[in-house]
Structures are given as structure tokens and as C-alpha cells.
Amino acid sequence: MTSTDDSGEIRSLYRISYSLRIKALEMVYRSGTGHVSPCFSMAEILATLYFKVLNVDSRNPSLRNRDRLILSKGHASAIYYAALAEKGFFSTDLLDTYCTLGSALGGHPVIDSLAGIDMTTGSLGNGLSLAVGIAQIGKKDTLGNWIYAIVGDGELQEGLVWEAFMYAGNRHLENLVVIIDRNGLQSGGKVAEIMDLDQLDRKLDSFNFYVQTIDGHDIGQLVAAIDSAKQQKGRPSAIIANTIKGKGVSFMESQASWHMRIPDESEFLSGMSELRKEEAKYG
């Protein structure tokens, strides 16, 4: 635990983040497909959003003024589904069907396939544009809700992402919070070597965003940054969350080769052991 806040709530959120990692690893290993290390870098982000921040009700998932979460990096669907199930949108038993024929839990989320899924994503870059559109509707109709988008740093190389940033800033969409999972890696290697995002904070600031840079695995920092973002008037927010790809399993951490690699039995058992030890620290 990196945060200095040792409250019971913070400890519970860390425990949930590792529980979600465990479920994601089980799902990917069982199905023989998926993107496990991109899931691990955003575990604390999802735990904080679903179990601390988001105004959503799994018993009434169709409320028009509910908060929305758009997972732009839709390939990290396994841990997203795990969070939705843990939140109560559907049975955790359904996680066993991940990426099997006929399952509602496909490799990328599909809107309305299950309660809680706010948008179809997976084609990188599209999620942010969709989130911007939803935020504009929310502002126009004075719904009073918040729109969150989780975006990978690799997909910031897509041109339509910057159109979305430009539009959101120009339309003063203060109800939009973009969380950038900046783990520094993409399927082909290091983001900085493929297409560098140097001075990302200054770029976003120039698009009229309120920008914060934090440790994306520190739940205390995540909570504080989101609270600060929600105080802004007249401009959207971007939280650059510096993370570690594969966080929680030592041999996966910071290794681009694990972007879509499926663990063998020994790797699965070793990874599960590490994750369960971390989860137990917050029990």
C-alpha cells in the first residue's frame, strides 16, 4: 500500500483491487485468451471508481442521470467485467464464461449485452470520443452526472483522441473526467519509442483541460485527484495516472511481451500466489 491513508475504506479498496486482479487472471487463463497485464495496471483505478466514486445502482442500472464509465481501452475487459460483477450488476458465476462461444462477456465490452456496460469499446481511440458525446448530452440536459473515461497511453497515438480532447475543451465539458492509464507500454513495445507522448500534461493543458499527474496505484491520490477534478468549473479534467503494466505479478511487471500472452499452468499458479498474498495484506 502506497497511500499514507490507512483508513478501513482505503484498505478495503486495495483488497478489492487485488480481488479483481485475481478474477481477471482466472478468466484469461481459463479461456486461453485476453489481455491480462493491461488489466492489472488499472485495478486500483477501477476499484476506486466503482466502490468509492461512481453514482451507479446495480439494482436500477438504467437511471438516466447515473454516472457513466467508458472503458476506452476495451481490450482490458476481463477486469472490467470482474468489477461489474463484484458491484452486483450480474452474477460472478458469469465470469466463468468469459470469451466462450455465445457468452455476453466477449473480448471487448458491448453496450446493453449486460447491465452496467455503458458503451461498446475496443477500437482504440473511439472510447474517448463517445465519452465526450455523452458528457455533452449530460451537460445540455442538466443531468448532473459525471462521465469518466479510462484511456490507455498507447491509444493516445490515435488522431481522433486529440479531436475529442480539442472538442471537450472547447465545449467546456466540466462533467468529463479522463483518466489516462499511463503504463508506458503497448503491444509493440515502449510507448516512448513507438510514438512519444512527451510533455503530455502541457499538451492537455493547451486543450483547456485541468491536468493532474499522480501515482495510479495510490488510492489516496486517486480519490484526491477525482475530488479535485469535480471542483473544476468550465473545463474538463485529465488525470495522468502513472502505472505499471502487469502490476501485482512480478514476472509480468513492465514487460510488453505480456500484453496478450496467456500464462501456462506454472505461471498461472505463481501469479495467483503473488496476488493472493497481496490481497491478504488488506484482509
Domain layout of the chain by residue ranges: 8-281
Interval 60-119: pLDDT, tens? 999 999 999 999 999 999 999 999 999 999 999 999 999 999 999 999 999 989 999 999
DSSP state of 189: E
Rounded Cα–Cα distance for residues 190 and 65 (Å) = 39
pLDDT at residue 179 is higher than 90: yes
Give residue 1's pLDDT.
47
Per-residue pLDDT tens digits for 182-204: 999 999 999 999 999 999 999 99
Q: What is the pTM of this model?
A: 0.97
Confidence of residue 3 (pLDDT cuts 50, 70, 90): very low
> What is the structure's pLDDT at 5?
55
Burial of 73 (0-12, 13-18, 19+ CB in 10 A): buried
Residue 120, CA distances (Å) to 141, 178, 249 in order = 23, 17, 29
Which CATH number among 3.40.50.670, 3.40.50.720, 3.40.50.970, 3.30.70.2190 corresponds to the domain 8-281? 3.40.50.970
Question: Does pLDDT of 14 surpass 80?
Answer: yes
Q: Write down the mean pLDDT value for the chain.
A: 96
In angstroms, the Cα distances linking 188 to 5, 43, 195 are: 37, 22, 11
pLDDT at 146 exceeding the cut of 80: yes
For position 283, what pLDDT does the model report? Answer: 86
Q: What is the per-residue pLDDT for 115?
A: 96
Residue 214 main-chain phi, psi, to 5 deg: -140, 175
Instruction: Decide: helix, strand or coil at residue 207.
Output: coil
Please, what is the Cα angle at 273 between 107 and 53, to 5 degrees? 55
Distances (CA, A) of 223 to 14, 45, 173, 194: 12, 9, 20, 32
For 147, phi then psi, to 5°, come to -115, 120
Reported confidence tier of residue 6, pLDDT bands at 50, 70, 90: low
Report yes or no: 116 and 89 within 8 Å, Cβ to Cβ.
Answer: yes
The set of cell numbers assigned to 213 is 499527474
